[in-house]
Amino acid sequence: MQNLIKLPGLIDVHVHLREPGATQKEDFQTGTRAAIAGGYTAVLDMPNNPIATVTPQALQEKINLATGKIYCDVGFNFGAGSKSVQYFPEVVDKVFGLKVYMNQTTGDLLIEDEIALEAVFSGWPKNQVVMVHAEGDTLQKAIALAKKFGNKLHVCHVSLKAEVEAIKSAKQTGMKISCECTCHHLFLTDEDVKRLGPYGMMRPPLSSKEDQQALWQGITDGTIDMIASDHAPHTREEKEGEKPAYGVPGLETTLPLLLTAVKDKRLSLDKLIDLTYTNPKRVFNIPDQPDTFVEVDTTIRYTLDAERLYTKCRWTPFAGMKVTGKVKKVVLRGQTVFDGQNIFGPYGQLLTP
């Protein structure tokens, strides 16, 4: 029995497309093809490339490289570097958010210095989002800075119970704060790291069962606003090397995993749409995509298989997991861009707020 339903084109605000500088992992073409196959019609690209997106020149280079090559719509997030504050006025209407790395992760955008952080938070326009990578105790620092300077704060990849609680209290004080969590934190725990080895390593790391339960609870009670993939591909060689790179791909597994949660009654379909479309669109001011939708069959049961992925890295930490729900068709501005087997395009456009 088939059961086809229509969803809006999904929006992912946290994607690492890796071009320029790390195209052995992914590029604009392969990454946006993976997005389309996963049911996403708009993604926001992150700035932590080897030459980081912290200057207008680096942003312009991405715009030039992406033009004519993207299968879904792409917008950019700018990076906060110790010297990038001077460029904020120039780039602000070309990007959707400012990403601030307050903990160590892939790339060299870490900012810990209090004075530098104050300059960043005070310099970014207050109607635009500051996205923070702020794990554990660092989150309190981010909340305090955003309160002090009146920023719209978005917390990336929440993974701990204490973080969910901190965000819940901040929301209760009326602060402008939103957050995302990822499917790897919702569907895997630290117990999976033994089995997955480097393929289960990312920032923030997989957390405990108790943390995982707090994330599901945070979704139910509205503390968690959206789901982002944090699509962070690395090659198998980079994963299996002496110092494994942190990060996992996620664009093609997020929707099937969430549809499976709907089937298992852990999530309603309305909630799925809030988490992957309505809330990211509202918080990040993503423009409308007319005549755009995704058709999924909610009854097809299958095993997630790395061989079928469009991402250049061709692996997933969810390989072997049974899911129910498959993308059958994606339509972007009236054009079929995926028919369940083939991708057509590139018909993606660059997005500005």
Sites of contact with Zn ion (CB under 5 A): 230
**Alpha carbons 142 and 137: distance in angstroms, whole number:** 9
* Residue with token string 């299996």: 240
C-alpha torsion 132→133→137→143, nearest 10: 0
Kindly state the smallest distance separating residue 16's Cβ from Zn ion, in Å. 6
- Nearest residue (CB) to Zn ion, 73 versus 230: 230
* Residue with token string 């959707």: 96
Which residues ranging from 210 to 239 are in contact with ligand NCD (CB under 6 A)? 230, 232
149 binds, among Zn ion, ligand NCD, none (CB under 5 to 8 A by kind): none
Does residue 206 touch ligand NCD according to CB under 6 A?
A: no
- Nearest residue (CB) to ligand NCD, 250 versus 256: 250
Radius of gyration (C-alpha) of the chain in whole angstroms: 19
Backbone angles phi, psi at 262, to 5 degrees: -65, -45
Contacts (Cβ under 8 Å, ≥6 apart) of 116: 82
Backbone angles phi, psi at 37, to 5 degrees: -60, -25
Q: What DSSP assignment string belongs to 147-206?
A: HHHT-EEEE-S--SHHHHHHHHHHHHTT--EEEEE-HHHHH--GGGHHHHGGGG--SSPP
H helical segments located in 233-344: 236-240, 254-263, 269-273, 279-284
Kindly state the smallest distance separating residue 275's Cβ from ligand NCD, in Å. 19
Which residues ranging from 124 to 143 are in contact with ligand NCD (CB under 6 A)? 133
Does residue 246 touch ligand NCD according to CB under 6 A?
A: yes
Kindly state the smallest distance separating residue 295's Cβ from Zn ion, in Å. 29
Strand order from edge to edge, sheet including 293-303: 4-8, 293-303, 322-332, 335-338
* Residue with token string 């993604």: 43
Kindly state the smallest distance separating residue 311's Cβ from ligand NCD, in Å. 13
- Nearest residue (CB) to ligand NCD, 247 versus 346: 247
How many residues of this chain interact with ligand NCD, rule: CB under 6 A?
11
Does residue 203 touch ligand NCD according to CB under 6 A?
A: yes
Taking alpha carbons only, the member of 181, 219, 187 closest to residue 200 is 187
Does residue 202 touch ligand NCD according to CB under 6 A?
A: yes
- Nearest residue (CB) to Zn ion, 204 versus 345: 204
Kindly state the smallest distance separating residue 119's Cβ from ligand NCD, in Å. 22
203 binds, among Zn ion, ligand NCD, none (CB under 5 to 8 A by kind): ligand NCD
Which residues ranging from 154 to 193 are in contact with ligand NCD (CB under 6 A)? none
Does residue 20 touch ligand NCD according to CB under 6 A?
A: no
Kindly state the smallest distance separating residue 248's Cβ from ligand NCD, in Å. 7
Query: Residues in the site for ligand NCD, rule: CB under 6 A?
Result: 16, 48, 105-106, 133, 202-203, 230, 232, 246-247
